[in-house]
Structure 1
Amino acid sequence: MAGDIRLIVQGDDFGMCHAVNVGTLRAYQEGILTQASTMAACPWFTEAAALARSSGIPLGVHQTLTCEWDYLRWRPLTDGPSLVGADGTFFRTVAEARASITRQDAVRELSAQVAKFAAEGLDIHYLDVHMGESAPDAYDEIASAAGKPYIYGPVESRRFASIEILSDRDAATKKPWMLAYLAGLTPGVHLLVTHCAVAEPELAALTAPGTETYRWAEEYRLSDQAIVTDPEIRKTIENEGINLVSMRNAFTD
């Protein structure tokens, strides 16, 4: 209805590893998570697909052309030579990927990622992007072919009253920030992006200490998990009259 506050709480990287899969599902079933951006090129996608079928969690395609970790490396689904570095896996940064990837290879790869969802019998409700736009010209084409919104595109992103990321904050500041964020939401559809995971040894083993992505491996994910499953956070959402929605129903009256 016009004038109400609608909040999408999104969990990124579903399918990346087992710890992320378990955390994302738990955040959906026991917390405030409302949808999951899912990585078809990653090694644990098959488990994520099975969990999605059994739980009904709304899914988006987390379009993936990069792999940021030192020790967890994944390859494209297709054989486009511009997609990979010397080791045959995706580039580690968006800048490296953007300097190499051709539009043709990107479109073919991202189309294959969408097709993998269909092969698992999964419904797609939106598309977004992992880390950043490595092939800016390709994303709108893929979304148009899929008939689904690309939520970070120039048209779709304007439909949101706000887009925020919970993850890259110190753990001690997340709950105060979240409470203030919820209290300040205005009428419209808001998107809050999180990265959830449960404590498993694999998280700490993703990358070497001191690297640029180190805090994203375990620290940010475990603290996000704590926030989205915190009973006080859910109670605040109820008290503020905020409606939890997903892209499946966010823009319907």
Structure 2
Amino acid sequence: MVGVGVAEVQLVVQSDDFGMCHAVNVGTVQAFREGIVTQVSTMAACPWFTEAAALAREFAIPVGVHQTLTCEWDFLRWRPLTDGPSLVGEDGTFRRTVEEAAAGVTHADAVRELSAQAAKFAAEGLTLEYLDFHMGSSVPSAYDEVSAALGKPFIYGPDVAKRFASIEVLSDRDADDKKPWLLDYLDKLTPGVHLLVTHCAAAEPELAALHRPGTYTYRWAEEYRLSDQAMVTDPEIRQAIEDHNIELTTVGAAF
């Protein structure tokens, strides 16, 4: 729940990739309802977006558009909503890495695609709180243009990012290191608004089937998500937040 009043230390706990697959949807809802997640970044181009939108409406989850110009998985592939030729690789789906997208996607194609994703989001009756991006910055000028057109904050844009006292990602750490790191992180938060990015998912078989084993990307399929899920629903983490008088909030409420 978002705290009442203004505390010296405020924390936005964000879960990314809502709509990517069913396991992510189930875990994200649990992380919001039973854990410390306060806002959720939603991927309108992905196959399970319709379910994610329904869940967001049902549980009044604060949501943003997770602007998507890439698809990293071997076996879960998604396509753009628009037909810009620079958006896709040989198989007709999004490019696999930020580097590939940055080298190949044009500004015009990116703006058209990201605008379509925001329009699909709005068509589901969702209230747009903010925008961010999936995996990294592929076409910086496009994110800025779409954010300006929609009149909503782009979290990683220079004007918004500098308003955070810190931005950290929990996910890409070894599972055994996450709780000690997170407890230390909470203990050392300074006055201001902080952003902690997570990637939550429920323990469903589809996660391990997203990607071939043995790669860095494979760790993002299941390992990182399940350990993030454990952290954001851990009672000890919740207690630490209360003990440190940290107010859980959202970008919409804080800015």
What does residue 47 of structure 1 align with?
51
Report how many aligned residue pairs link the two structures.
Answer: 251
Deviating above 6 A after TM superposition, structure 1's stretches of 4 or more consecutive aligned residues are none
Shift of 1:204: 0.2
Partner Cα distance (1:86, 1:117) in 2: 27
Distance 1:29 1:79, change over 3 A: same
What does residue 178 of structure 1 align with?
182
What does residue 99 of structure 2 align with?
95
Instruction: Select 1:241's aligned residue among 241, 245, 254.
Output: 245
1:54-93 mapped onto 2 (5 Å cutoff): 54-93=58-97
Partner Cα distance (1:161, 1:225) in 2: 24
Partner Cα distance (1:125, 1:191) in 2: 15
Q: Secondary structure at the match of 2:75?
A: coil
Cα distance per residue 1:31-78 (max 9 Å; x no partner):
000000000000000000000000001001000000000000000000
Cα distance per residue 1:94-139 (max 9 Å; x no partner):
0111111000000000000000011100000000000011111100
Task: Give, as a single letter, the amino acid of the residue that structure 1 aligns with 2:180.
Answer: P
Task: Give, as a single letter, the amino acid of the residue that structure 1 aligns with 2:128.
Answer: I
TM-score (norm 1): 0.98
What does residue 221 of structure 2 align with?
217
Q: Within the alignment, does 1:250 sit opposite 2:242 as a pair?
A: no
Partner Cα distance (2:191, 2:42) in 1: 28
| Contact 2:42–2:49 under 8 Å retained in 1 | yes
Q: Secondary structure at the match of 1:138?
A: helix
| Contact 2:201–2:226 under 8 Å retained in 1 | yes
What does residue 143 of structure 1 align with?
147
Q: Within the alignment, does 1:29 sit opposite 2:33 as a pair?
A: yes
Task: Give, as a single letter, the amino acid of the residue that structure 1 aligns with 2:239.
Answer: K
Q: Secondary structure at the match of 1:128?
A: strand
What does residue 124 of structure 1 align with?
128
What does residue 110 of structure 2 align with?
106
Instruction: Select 1:10's aligned residue among 14, 17, 38.
Output: 14
Identity of matched residues, %: 73
Partner Cα distance (2:212, 2:102) in 1: 24
Partner Cα distance (1:87, 1:192) in 2: 34
Q: Within the alignment, does 1:203 sit opposite 2:231 as a pair?
A: no
Partner Cα distance (2:120, 2:6) in 1: 37
Runs of at least 5 residues in structure 2 that lack an aligned partner in the other structure: none
TM-score (norm 2): 0.97
Instruction: Select 1:164's aligned residue among 164, 168, 182.
Output: 168
Partner Cα distance (2:207, 2:6) in 1: 42
Shift of 1:210: 1.1
